[in-house]
Amino acid sequence: MPLAVALALTSSAALALDRAALPSEAPMEACPEQGAGFARIPGTSTCLRVSGRVAAGIDAGTHGSAAPVRGRFSVDTRSDTDLGPVRSFLRLDAGRH
Protein backbone atom coordinates (compact mmCIF):
# COMPACT_ATOMS: atom_id res chain seq x y z
CA MET A 1 0.00 0.00 0.00
CA PRO A 2 1.47 3.40 -0.91
CA LEU A 3 2.40 5.63 2.02
CA ALA A 4 -0.02 8.42 0.96
CA VAL A 5 -2.98 6.01 0.99
CA ALA A 6 -1.98 4.63 4.41
CA LEU A 7 -1.73 8.16 5.84
CA ALA A 8 -5.11 9.12 4.39
CA LEU A 9 -6.76 6.04 5.93
CA THR A 10 -5.11 6.68 9.28
CA SER A 11 -6.21 10.32 9.44
CA SER A 12 -9.82 9.50 8.51
CA ALA A 13 -9.94 6.76 11.18
CA ALA A 14 -8.72 9.24 13.80
CA LEU A 15 -11.55 11.62 12.93
CA ALA A 16 -14.12 8.90 13.70
CA LEU A 17 -12.82 8.66 17.29
CA ASP A 18 -13.44 12.33 18.14
CA ARG A 19 -15.97 12.94 20.92
CA ALA A 20 -19.44 13.89 19.70
CA ALA A 21 -20.68 17.31 20.74
CA LEU A 22 -23.01 17.29 23.74
CA PRO A 23 -26.52 18.71 23.22
CA SER A 24 -25.86 21.28 25.93
CA GLU A 25 -23.66 21.86 28.96
CA ALA A 26 -26.67 23.26 30.92
CA PRO A 27 -27.88 21.41 34.02
CA MET A 28 -30.88 19.09 33.80
CA GLU A 29 -34.26 20.58 34.76
CA ALA A 30 -37.32 18.89 36.25
CA CYS A 31 -39.77 17.34 33.80
CA PRO A 32 -43.00 17.16 35.89
CA GLU A 33 -45.30 16.55 32.88
CA GLN A 34 -43.80 13.01 32.61
CA GLY A 35 -44.16 12.20 36.31
CA ALA A 36 -42.22 12.37 39.55
CA GLY A 37 -38.44 11.99 39.33
CA PHE A 38 -38.05 12.81 35.61
CA ALA A 39 -35.49 15.38 34.39
CA ARG A 40 -35.14 16.83 30.89
CA ILE A 41 -31.84 16.20 29.10
CA PRO A 42 -30.62 19.69 28.11
CA GLY A 43 -30.99 20.54 24.43
CA THR A 44 -33.46 17.68 23.79
CA SER A 45 -37.13 16.84 24.29
CA THR A 46 -36.19 13.66 26.18
CA CYS A 47 -37.00 13.18 29.86
CA LEU A 48 -35.03 10.64 31.92
CA ARG A 49 -35.58 8.90 35.27
CA VAL A 50 -32.97 6.64 36.89
CA SER A 51 -34.06 4.66 39.93
CA GLY A 52 -33.16 1.57 41.90
CA ARG A 53 -33.18 -0.20 45.21
CA VAL A 54 -31.10 -2.64 47.23
CA ALA A 55 -32.27 -4.99 49.97
CA ALA A 56 -30.07 -7.17 52.16
CA GLY A 57 -30.76 -9.59 54.97
CA ILE A 58 -29.14 -12.13 57.24
CA ASP A 59 -29.58 -15.87 56.78
CA ALA A 60 -29.47 -17.23 60.33
CA GLY A 61 -29.69 -20.87 59.22
CA THR A 62 -26.98 -23.45 59.82
CA HIS A 63 -26.50 -24.22 56.13
CA GLY A 64 -23.68 -21.71 55.79
CA SER A 65 -25.28 -19.90 52.84
CA ALA A 66 -24.48 -16.32 51.94
CA ALA A 67 -26.62 -13.39 53.06
CA PRO A 68 -29.54 -12.78 50.67
CA VAL A 69 -29.09 -9.58 48.68
CA ARG A 70 -31.45 -8.27 46.03
CA GLY A 71 -31.13 -5.26 43.79
CA ARG A 72 -32.95 -3.47 41.01
CA PHE A 73 -31.80 -0.72 38.63
CA SER A 74 -34.21 1.03 36.23
CA VAL A 75 -33.85 3.62 33.45
CA ASP A 76 -37.00 5.17 31.93
CA THR A 77 -36.84 7.66 29.02
CA ARG A 78 -39.73 9.50 27.38
CA SER A 79 -39.66 11.77 24.33
CA ASP A 80 -42.26 13.69 22.37
CA THR A 81 -41.80 13.23 18.61
CA ASP A 82 -43.68 14.25 15.48
CA LEU A 83 -45.25 10.76 15.48
CA GLY A 84 -46.28 10.92 19.14
CA PRO A 85 -44.71 9.93 22.46
CA VAL A 86 -41.84 7.41 22.49
CA ARG A 87 -40.83 5.55 25.64
CA SER A 88 -37.99 3.18 26.48
CA PHE A 89 -37.67 1.28 29.74
CA LEU A 90 -34.87 -0.92 31.07
CA ARG A 91 -34.96 -2.82 34.37
CA LEU A 92 -32.18 -5.05 35.70
CA ASP A 93 -32.92 -7.33 38.65
CA ALA A 94 -30.26 -9.27 40.55
CA GLY A 95 -30.18 -11.59 43.54
CA ARG A 96 -32.39 -14.26 45.05
CA HIS A 97 -36.13 -13.65 45.09
End-to-end CA distance of the chain: 59
Residue 7 — very low, low, confident or very high, per pLDDT cuts 50/70/90? very low
Residue type at 32 in one-letter notation: P
pTM for the model stands at: 0.59
Identify the band that residue 20 occupies on the pLDDT scale cut at 50, 70 and 90: low
Task: Give the pLDDT confidence of 37-91 residue by residue, as tens digits.
Answer: 999 988 888 999 999 999 888 767 666 566 678 899 999 999 988 999 999 999 9
| Cα 9 off chain centre by | 33
pLDDT at res. 3: 53
| Residue type at 49 in one-letter notation | R
